[in-house]
Amino acid sequence: MSLRYAVGSDVGSVRENNEDHVRVVPERGLFVVADGMGGHVAGEVASRVAVESFIEAVAKQPRPRRIKDEIAILEAAVHAANNAVMDTAQARGLIGMGTTLTAALIRGRTATIAHIGDSRAYLANDKLWMVTQDHTMAALMVQSGLLSEHDAAAHPERHVLTQAIGTGRTIEPDVFQTRLPRATRILLCSDGLYDVVPAIEILQLMQDPDLDATVPALIQAAKAHGGPDNITVVLIDP
């Protein structure tokens, strides 16, 4: 599979440790970002366990003949990751830890997206489209008509999660497929990027054809805006 991609993760300018975790499985076209929560150690553990368990669950399944069957594979993998994090928390006494998880499985011109929490997936060409829906209190208020999208960006509950891996045995991840138009890139990122870098600046930086230069440029932009959180970026050119 001839996918061009670049990956970067940075602790940021304020935090002492990086609770994000990112993994790529090039031969499967699989990309996963997770942003852990629950304290100094617990967040790191949650994101790592979730990503590794998710990838293991996908790897156990043969590549299906029909692209649409990838949805069931990724959905099962999210639930496997959730169980693994819950079991680890119980075994190690790290109750309360959890993590976001956003993954893209690329096959031809189709991306299968699995998502829970408030990390994000975007598509970009001459515009930037967010294709995931944040699982936050602020996003829920927007959906209910109680808050505008503009006000949600600065709302105090914009990162209060309504769903995350590790917060309960029953979760409802978003798993869907989207077509990839020609000359369209895929961006996966933690909130350390989009929360501080304006969308127009992200899009401008993504116009650089050099993926290996664009990823550190995006991370540096987040740090230039204060870098208050860990920053993880995956950029894919299918």
Mean pLDDT, the chain, integer: 93
Contact 57, 76 (CB under 8 A): yes
Tens of pLDDT, residue by residue over 161-170, are 999 999 999 9
Tens of pLDDT, residue by residue over 92-103, are 998 889 999 999
Q: Tell me, what's the pLDDT at 84?
A: 98
Is 121 strand, coil or helix? strand
Q: How far apart are CA 12 and CA 39, in angstroms?
A: 16
For the full predicted model, state whether its pTM sits above 0.85.
yes
Q: How far apart are CA 160 and CA 152, in angstroms?
A: 12
Q: Which range, of 116-120, 138-142, 167-171, 191-195, averages the lowest pLDDT? A: 138-142
Q: Identify which of 123, 99, 136 has the alpha carbon closest to the alpha carbon of residue 21.
A: 99
Q: Identify which of 189, 207, 2 has the alpha carbon closest to the alpha carbon of residue 109.
A: 2
Looking at domain 4-237, which CATH architecture does it have?
4-Layer Sandwich (3.60)
In the chain, what percentage of residues exceed pLDDT 70? 96
Tens of pLDDT, residue by residue over 74-93, are 999 999 999 999 999 999 99
- HEC sequence for 125-182: CCCEEECCCCCEHHHHHHHCCCCCHHHHCCCCCCCCECCCECCCCCCCCEEEEEECCC
Going from N- to C-terminal start, the domains of the chain cover 4-237
Burial of 201 (0-12, 13-18, 19+ CB in 10 A): middle
φ and ψ at 212, to 5 degrees?
-65, -20
Is 40 strand, coil or helix? coil
Is 36 strand, coil or helix? strand
Provide the 8-state DSSP code for 190: -
Burial of 187 (0-12, 13-18, 19+ CB in 10 A): buried
Please name the residue ranges forming H helices in 9-123.
Answer: 42-59, 70-92
User: Mean pLDDT over residues 11-34, rounded?
Assistant: 96
User: Mean pLDDT over residues 196-215, rounded?
Assistant: 97
